Structure 1
Amino acid sequence: MARVRTVATELAKLLNSAAQPIYVLDDEQTLIFCNRACLDWVGSTAEQLHGRRCAYHSSPEAAGADAVAAGLCPSPGVLAGGEVSGTVACTGSDGRLRRRQARFIALGGRPEDPVGLIALVDPDDLPESETPAPRPERTEAARLHDEIRSFRRQAAVRCGADRLVGKSPAMRRALAQVALAAQSEASVLVVGPPGSGRQHVAAAIHYQAGPKSAGSLIPLACSVLGADLIRSTVAALAAKRPPPGETSRDTLLLNEADQLPLEVQAEMVKVLSAKSFPARLIATARQSLDRVARQGEFREELASLLSTIVIELPPLAERRADLPLLAQLLLEEVNARGTKQVAGFSPEALDRLHGYPWPGNVDELARVVAEAHERAEGVQIGVGDLPERIHLAGHAAAHPRRPEETIVLDELLGRIERELIQRALARAKGNKTKAARLLGMTRPRLYRSLVQLGMEE
């Protein structure tokens, strides 16, 4: 036993003398060793990291050692023997995301089922503007993973809305509006269909100053709560006075504000517009409050009060270019919650997701991704792992119902009459008297029909 300990100690000394960061994972992706160069790079101690499980995600909720471990996690494809290199990252003391190339070496066992992994990390950071050179083993999932990590870091710095990823023009506009709202105390209206992430945007704006200094977020469900309860809650908040020296500010979140009962709107205008009202106002709605006001179903004064800054979130069907990034982000959030790790989606699975109409928007996509993650048996979600409703929608799109053909009765009867007259004339060898007799009509009536059908001048 003493000999084993001596060998382990000598090996640790040897690895600690290396200038490049080196770390070791076991078969459950738990960090069991980090050399001194690795600890210096990530700014942690061995006590903080050893025994910490690496999960393949880029969740901003991870902090401290959990965030460091997530940054060191290789793609699940590495442990499956499919990849030998990748990008790892950590956040520097200056808040910047520092990325480095790493090479992974499987330890023992079968190539597709190693007992552990050694990671050899380059000694130098990649430039912020540099994208790692394309490699045959670098998967689309790995590229999306790096893009999400970078995107979230930038979004968190700008406005705290780290879950709002996307490059479509509609999402770029929404992100710019969120950044503006995060730097302001003005009222904000978040407009979008159910499931588009309205409440997440509202929370991101509220907490942009940090959880400790933001105060309480007080949600009111305008579509389900009665007028009396809404009235009493707003009145209680209006009467609240912060203790001396308190700098945080609460936020009143009016969810589904376009469903606010008419009988409380006038009173709310009076209370919410008072200079002494202690909370910031954020509202969500399915459509513009100005539009609802023009329809006579909302007070114009209240619509104006709640709509200083308007953020429009598009339905998912109108931002399909963002779907691969969103699906990868949601998949990594599932990875962060459990031990099962899935790297990404097959191209065929992404194509199938792209063809789905997404009536439930991002919330529905999150449910579909969670179901597919549960079903997946490999490191990638394939078409067969997707829920049945995705397949049914694809089949329906490939085999659309034929439009019903409209029957114009007069045209149909005219064609039938023309055909019968032509047959009678053929049998009568052009004799109209005989043809009329075959048709059971008089000769004058046959002549009128010929004229009406354009068969005779």
Structure 2
Amino acid sequence: MADLTHTLLDHDNLNLVLDNLKLGIIAHTTNRIITVFNKEAERITGYLKEEVIGKDCHMVFQEPFCGGKCSFCDGPPDFPFDTKEYPLNIITKDGSARQLEMTVSAIISHDNVFKGVLASFKDVTESFNLSLKAETLSSFAGIIGKDKTMQDIFRQIRDVAMYNYPVHVSGDTGTGKERVAYAIHDISSYGNGAFVPVNCGALPEGIVESELFGHVKGAFSGAIKERKGRFELAHKGTLFLDEVADLPLKTQVKLLRFLQEGSFEKVGGEKKVSVDVRIISATNKNLKAEVLAGNFREDLYYRLNVIPIHLPPLRQRKNDIPLLAAHFLKEAEKESKNGVPQLAEETLDVMLDYHWPGNVRELKNVIQFSVVRSRGNKILPSDLPMEITENKIFSVRTANTPPAPEILTAKGKLDIESVKTAIKKTGGNKSKAAKVLGVGRATLYRFLARNEELKTYADQF
């Protein structure tokens, strides 16, 4: 009797501990039967403990709680079961959307038997929303950016990931369209499936249908066996159609039919093939203009452009250049056995003056080039590629030359009023305003980035 009482007390204490955690906790068996569901899990999901304990988690939540990232949809996963960490969007019992950070681990018995899974999750919805509102978020789902336009894009990515509506990402070459597409895929319910990118412009017209939809044996000369296309390879995942404007009109018809019916026929085949695929398209062209020119079907345009996301060119968000450069330098440091040099202040000034036709991709290439070329602990303007520095006049700092003070002005430091005065005096020309203030342009940009009201004032000229 004493042993039973002790066991009950231990069980009560365990529940008490779990209910006082600030993490949602769910545990279930290898058959998906929920055995643990704490108070924080109740608060986050909207479901009560008595509604879920002893039931199949798929039945309780009407679908896998972790969406496409579920490892138990087709039975228990292979043992050993690796710990997984990932962002997750869920719909609560009352229909509201919540953003979580999820960790899933295996429950292993003392005799090394796989007993089930333990999922812990944290609700980060409010902190994410506050960061967006305050515009203090500097990265999201692998995308770097603190500019207001990027904060808006972060919000769009989070919102659209909840639904399986087609998304069309537009923007100049090198702005990061595939990165945005992958971010949507990764935090959506399709994130456990494959992300299959296709460059439609790189596919020869003669084989584009076969590449996308596959073919049956004998469909054409050389088709010696049946082959899956990209749509089938992306089943339960995301198909990213990059440069979709370059698709031949004949293939556009077949794509439209798939979007309407959810099925297609392989080249040379008669059997309907159904797949569950999220479609994200992208192009650096004006797709509406392509419709008017007769190069793109208007009905397909409206099918693909349900949720449009436009990425701004880097020249329109130069405040992010220091942030992006620092990120690429960290990447270079991970790949190098030695330390990497840092950007000199005057080098950043030169980079801020450049128009960046290749956008973020070009910036990454420039950082990699400069790291290799630099011979000291600073990347100097002379270490930059020629196209960045041509028509620029700059002085090379020697070891005995002290660096220019970063934020010295007549008042000693940058302040809002002196910056406003300089911007007004120069008609909004930031390069001239920096000279009036006696600072580098990079320093002025960083100051503006920290003061959104002042940045808005500067942008109105």
TM bin, normalised by shorter chain, reads 0.3 to 0.5
TM-score where L is the length of structure 2 = 0.48
Pick the structure with more helix per residue.
1
Structure with the greater relative contact order (CA < 8 A, sep ≥ 6): 1 or 2?
1
Q: Which structure has the bigger radius of gyration?
A: 1
